[in-house]
Amino acid sequence: MQDHETIFDKIKELLGSIPNQLNVLEDKIDIDLQLEYFEYSRRVRKDLKSDLVLNESYKLFDTNISQEVKKSILAKIASIDKVEAYRIIERFLKTIPGELKNWSILALQDNRMLLESRLLDENHVFISTGLGGKGEKLRYFVVIFGKNLTDFSDLQRKIIRNEIEISLKKHNSELEELNFSGSLATILTMIPMKVIIKQIFTEAIEECNHFGDFLIANFIITNVKSLSFEEIREYIENQQKLSGEGKLNKDEPSI
């Protein structure tokens, strides 16, 4: 994605127009599981007979039925554009713990979009990321880096928090979490799809650097997953090995 583009711009570019309704997956669900669900759903929904599928729905609540069978039933029910199908998945989701929960969430969202498209006669687009979102906002995980290997001081932490909050608020975005470890800071945030993401953190880092030039201009943004500080440090080490240098590139932000 180009520096000046927003997620909204990208959707318009890919579809040729803006859809009537954007449906955002709110839950944090592993991207690999999402891909597995939609590929599985595409396969099992061919030549389905609605009544036969709904008649099998009792198996979802049978503890003797395997998870693989239940996954198949959920994907099939999700492809039926009847309110009854939605209610079955919704009821099952309230009772199921563990591994099948996220699969059930995907099935429920899938069926909701199908029902809304039929009932409202509008084009719907389903947006799902590993970190989820809400309404017209998506959740992002951001990492910013200190220029030195020493821990951020209390004053520097305060400056980072203040400038991040100011920049996010300016762009109608929300700060959910801000954590520090050594010379690293991680941010979990909700950002509207119509906002240029990089601009928020470029501005914040520039403002922070007015108070001592202590942050690298380079930063990481992802909406796939949150990273542990250990994973971030492994990433830095790999980047250093690839570049043959002892530091990150300070000139360009990264996404």
pLDDT at res. 183: 94
pLDDT at res. 230: 93
Nearest 10 degrees: CA dihedral of 180, 227, 141, 32?
-170
In this structure, the answer to whether residues 210 and 169 fall within a common structural domain is yes
pLDDT at res. 4: 57
pLDDT at res. 123: 64
| Adjacent-strand bridge partners of 197 | none
In this structure, the answer to whether residues 174 and 158 fall within a common structural domain is yes
115-172 pLDDT tens trace? 887 776 666 677 888 999 988 899 999 999 999 888 999 999 999 999 999 999 999 9
In this structure, the answer to whether residues 49 and 117 fall within a common structural domain is yes
pLDDT along the chain (255 residues), means of 10: 61 58 82 92 84 92 92 94 94 84 93 82 75 91 93 96 97 96 96 90 96 94 93 85 58 38
pLDDT at res. 180: 97
Instruction: Single out the residue in 70, 98, 127 at which a domain terminates.
Output: 127
In sequence order, what E strands does 9-94 have? 21-24
Structural domain of residue 108, as residue ranges?
7-127
Pairing relationship of beta strands 21-24 and 124-127 according to DSSP bridges: parallel
Tally the domains of the chain. Answer: 2
Indicate whether this model's pTM tops 0.85: no
Write phi, then psi, for 137 (nearest 5 degrees): -115, 145
pLDDT at res. 95: 87
In this structure, the answer to whether residues 15 and 115 fall within a common structural domain is yes
Residue 251 lies in a domain: no
Residue 93 lies in a domain: yes
Residue 157 lies in a domain: yes
In this structure, the answer to whether residues 216 and 181 fall within a common structural domain is yes
pLDDT at res. 252: 38
Residue 249 lies in a domain: no
Question: Which residues contact residue 170 at a Cβ distance below 8 angstroms, ignoring those fewer than 6 apart?
Answer: 200, 203
pLDDT at res. 46: 78
In this structure, the answer to whether residues 58 and 83 fall within a common structural domain is yes
Residue 62 lies in a domain: yes
In this structure, the answer to whether residues 118 and 173 fall within a common structural domain is no
- Hey, what are 76's tokens? 């099939």
pLDDT at res. 19: 56
Instruction: Single out the residue in 73, 107, 127 at which a domain terminates.
Output: 127
pLDDT at res. 238: 83
Q: How many CA atoms lie within 13 A of 127 on its CB side?
A: 24
Residue 77 lies in a domain: yes
Which CATH number belongs to the domain containing residue 142 in this structure? Answer: 3.30.70.1290
In this structure, the answer to whether residues 18 and 123 fall within a common structural domain is yes
